Chains A and B, each alone.
Chain A
Amino acid sequence: MFKNKLNIINAVKNKIWTRYTSTSKVAKPEWDLLCGLCLERKPVISRPLSKLESDFKQMLQEIEIEKSKKSQHEIRHEMDIKRLEGLKKGKLSTEDIEKIIGQTATEVEDTGKKKLSAFVSASKITEADKENNMKSLDRKLDKHLLYLIKENIGQNMLWILPHDTVKKTESLRIAAERILREKCGVNIKAKFYGNAPCGVYKYKYPKIIREDSNSKIGAKIFFMKAQYLNGQIEESNIPNYIWASREELSKQLTHSYYKAINLFLIDDEYVNEEQI
C-alpha cells in the first residue's frame, strides 16, 4: 500500500514537472511582433446632401420663415412701395419726397446680391479628382483617405499599410513614430490616437519557412492609428504610395488583410433612401 502511494505521488510530480517545462516553452514568443501605421486623412468638406436631407432642410427653412417676424428690411421695402403709389396719385408730403431720393430697399438688396455672386468658392471636385491622381491629398475631399504603400511581401508586390518590426528598446508608439518618419517622410505631421494599438492582423508564414526550427510561426501586426495633420510625402524616397478611399481599399488589398483592417476603420457615411 505504502509503495503504491509513493508511486502515485511520483507520477503526479512528474506530470506537474512536464507541464511546467512545457509552459515555459510556450512563454517564448513564437510570433514576430510588427508595428503598422494607419495614417488617415479625415474628410475636408461635408458630403453632399441626399434628396431626403435637402427636402427636410427646405421644409425647415419654410417653417422658420412662417413663424418669423418681419425684418426691418422688409418693412422698408413695403414703405417704398407705398410711397411709389403715393407718387403716382400725387399725394406726397415733403418728407416722403426726401426719402425717395435716397436708396430703396431693392437697390440695397441688389448690391448685396452682386457682391455675393462675385465671390466664387473653391470647387469640391479638384484637379486631382479629374486626373484621378491617387498620390494627391486633394482628392475625394469628402471622404476618408488611408495611406498605402507597395511592398514586396514574399514574392508578390502588395499594397499594404506601412509596417516594420518593433525594436527591442521601443514601445509600439515610438515604433509607429519611427515608421511615420521612415515611410512617409519627415515633413508629415500627424496626431497619434494614444499609445494603444487600434487593431491587429495575424498571419502565418508559408510552410517551408515554418519547418525551419528556428523560425517563428508567423507575424502579428499591431496597428497604430494616426490622423494626418499637414505636410507632404517625400516622393523622392517613397516611389510607390497612394491615398486610398474606403472603396479602393477593398480593391487594392488582399481579402483577409482588408477584413482585418476594416475592423478598426470608421466607415464613410452613406444614405440608402430606398429602405426608408
Chain B
Amino acid sequence: MFGIKNVIINSLYRGLNFTNSLTASGLSTFPQPLCIQFTSVLMAQPMKKKKKTDPNILKLRTERKRKRLWKEIKRLTKQQKQLKPLDEIEVPYHLSDEPEKYERMKPILSTEILEERAELLRKWSVHKLRFHTKDLQIIDKLEAAQSHALDELKKESSELYEEAIKIDETLLPFTAEGPTETPPIKNYEIVDGEYIDVSRKWDPPKIPDLDKKVKQEMLKKIKEEAFKSEKKKN
C-alpha cells in the first residue's frame, strides 16, 4: 500500500516540477497558500533494493579467506626454518648402497699394544693438564703485572691513568694468523694457477614479503572503494 502511495505522490511531484523547485526553498508564485506541500523527504527517490546475502554464506566466505591466509603464513614459516644442507655430513650413496663392500677388517690387537696405548693416553692427559695450568699461570702473571702498572700510574698521574683505562676501539676486530707448520716460501708462484673456490653456495629460499602482500591487498581494496564512490557521484 505504502509503495503505491509513494508512486502516486511521486508522479504528482514530477508533474509539478517547476513549482516544486520553488516550494522546496519556501517560495511560491501562487497568491494563495498551497494546499499540498512537499517536503524534501518526500522528494527522495525510492531506495534501490539491497541484495541480501545469507549471513551464513558471508561467514563461510570470511572463514575461507582467513584459512587461505593462514595456509600461506604456515607455508612461509616452514620455508624459513629450512637449514643449509651440509654435504660433508651426508653419507655418500655408494656407502649406503653397499656398506659391506667398504667394511675394513678390524685388526686383532695384542694386549701389549693395548696397554701401550692406555699408557700413552695417561701420559698425554698429564701433559695436557700441565700445559693448561701453565697457561693459567701465565694469564695470572700478565694480569697481575698490568694491574700493578695501572696502580703505579694512578699514584703518579690521574690524567694518564684516565687515558690508559679508556677502551681502545681500534683493537677489535682482532685477527691473528699462524703459526703454520712451515714458513712461507718467498716469491712463491702458484703452480696450478689461481685458486678457485668451488664450494657450492647456499641461497636461502626467497620468502615473499608478507607485509607487502597484505599492503597490496589493502591498496587494492581502497582503490576499488574509491572507484565505486566515484561512480556513485557520477
Which of the residues B123, B163, B178, B182 comes within 8 Å of A122, measured between beta carbons? B182
- In Å, the complex CA distance between A42 and B186 comes to 19
Q: Determine whether the beta carbon of A271 is less than 8 Å from that of B127.
A: yes
Given A33-B156, A172-B160, A266-B142, also A276-B123 (CB < 8 A): yes
Which of the residues B101, B142, B168 comes within 8 Å of A264, measured between beta carbons? B142
Chain A residue, CB-CB nearest to B159: A171
Q: Determine whether the beta carbon of B163 is less than 8 Å from that of A171.
A: yes
Majority secondary structure of chain B interface residues (helix, strand, loop or mixed) = helix
A220 interfacial contact with B, CB 8 Å: yes
On chain B, the residues within 8 Å of A269 by CB distance are 131
Q: Determine whether the beta carbon of B104 is less than 8 Å from that of A264.
A: no
- In Å, the complex CA distance between A225 and B157 comes to 20
A140 to chain B, nearest CB (A): 11
Interface string of A71-96 (1 = CB under 8 A from B): 01001000000000000000000000
- In Å, the complex CA distance between A141 and B179 comes to 9
On chain B, the residues within 8 Å of A141 by CB distance are 183
- In Å, the complex CA distance between A68 and B179 comes to 30
Q: Determine whether the beta carbon of A194 is less than 8 Å from that of B149.
A: no
On chain A, the residues within 8 Å of B131 by CB distance are 269
Q: Determine whether the beta carbon of A266 is less than 8 Å from that of B180.
A: no
Which of the residues A56, A72, A123, A275 comes within 8 Å of B124, measured between beta carbons? A56
Given A29-B157, A44-B178, also A195-B149 (CB < 8 A): no
A66 interfacial contact with B, CB 8 Å: yes
B210 to chain A, nearest CB (A): 46
Interface bracket on B: 35 or more
- Which residues from 152 to 205 on chain B have a C-beta closer than 8 Å to any C-beta of chain A? 152-153, 156-157, 160, 163-168, 171, 174, 176, 178-186
Chain B residue, CB-CB nearest to A262: B141
Q: Determine whether the beta carbon of A166 is less than 8 Å from that of B160.
A: yes
Q: Determine whether the beta carbon of B153 is less than 8 Å from that of A45.
A: no
Q: Determine whether the beta carbon of B179 is less than 8 Å from that of A56.
A: no
Chain B residue, CB-CB nearest to A68: B104
Interface stretch (choices A153-161, A197-205, A247-255): A197-205
Q: Determine whether the beta carbon of B153 is less than 8 Å from that of A263.
A: no
B103 interfacial contact with A, CB 8 Å: yes
Number of interface residues of A (CB under 8 A): 53
On chain B, the residues within 8 Å of A75 by CB distance are 101-102
Interface string of B134-147 (1 = CB under 8 A from A): 10001001101110
- In Å, the complex CA distance between A72 and B64 comes to 57
Given A69-B95, A199-B146, A222-B153, also A276-B126 (CB < 8 A): yes
- Which residues from 27 to 78 on chain A have a C-beta closer than 8 Å to any C-beta of chain B? 29, 31, 33, 42-46, 52-53, 55-56, 59, 66, 68-70, 72, 75
Chain A residue, CB-CB nearest to B175: A191
Q: Determine whether the beta carbon of A202 is less than 8 Å from that of B152.
A: yes
Q: Determine whether the beta carbon of A52 is less than 8 Å from that of B123.
A: yes
- Which residues from 4 to 52 on chain B have a C-beta closer than 8 Å to any C-beta of chain A? none
Chain A residues within CB distance 8 Å of chain B? 29, 31, 33, 42-46, 52-53, 55-56, 59, 66, 68-70, 72, 75, 121-124, 126, 141-142, 166, 171-173, 191-200, 202, 220, 222-223, 263-264, 266-267, 269, 271, 273, 275-276
Chain B residues within CB distance 8 Å of chain A? 94-95, 101-104, 106-107, 117, 120, 123-124, 126-127, 130-131, 134, 138, 141-142, 144-146, 148-150, 152-153, 156-157, 160, 163-168, 171, 174, 176, 178-186
